[in-house]
Amino acid sequence: MNKTISAEDLNIHFKHNDDAALFKWLLASFLMGKRIQAEIAAEAYRVIADKHGRDTPSKLAACSHRELVAMLGEAHYVRYDETTAVRLHALARKLNDEYAGKVSHMVEASADRQAFEKRLAEFDGIGPKTVEIFMREAGSAISL
């Protein structure tokens, strides 16, 4: 059975509309939202954000596809490494291009929680499971 991994387990601590923590949790939620063991997804987050310091949308967007695949491989996140690398890159670019790299700008652009969740789901690779994981922890940190 998969253990539920919390933001705290990944050393992510939310303050009100804290963009750094919101993005880190979005990245972790994205990785955990796939059909992959939670611990492998958590390790992929640690490798990307902690070990390699790709913990902001601009730093993640600056990665090459090959670098992202290598980081995912380092964490044994190999089942979906190619598509995940493409989608992580797209996630970072879209966040940078449409929301100036800030999850809080997505919050501000949303009338309510439902509208925010709809915006999240517009990112390639983010489905209902990823939205659910993200909102489970971040819901109280964003004001909607």
pLDDT in tens, 44-53: 999 999 999 9
d(CA 137, CA 139): 6
pLDDT in tens, 47-99: 999 999 999 999 999 999 999 999 999 999 987 889 999 999 999 999 999 99
CATH number at residue 26: 1.10.340.30
The answer to whether residues 25 and 41 touch, using CB atoms and an 8 Å cutoff, is no
Work out how many domains the chain is built from and give that number: 1
Query: Can you give the residue range of the structural domain that contains 131?
Result: 17-137
Residue 62 lies in a domain: yes
Residue 4 lies in a domain: no
Give the number of other Cβ atoms within 10 Å of residue 112's Cβ: 9
Give the number of other Cβ atoms within 10 Å of residue 140's Cβ: 10
Residue 10 lies in a domain: no
Reported pTM: 0.94
Indicate whether 1 pLDDT > 50: no
Host H or E run for residue 105: helix 103-108
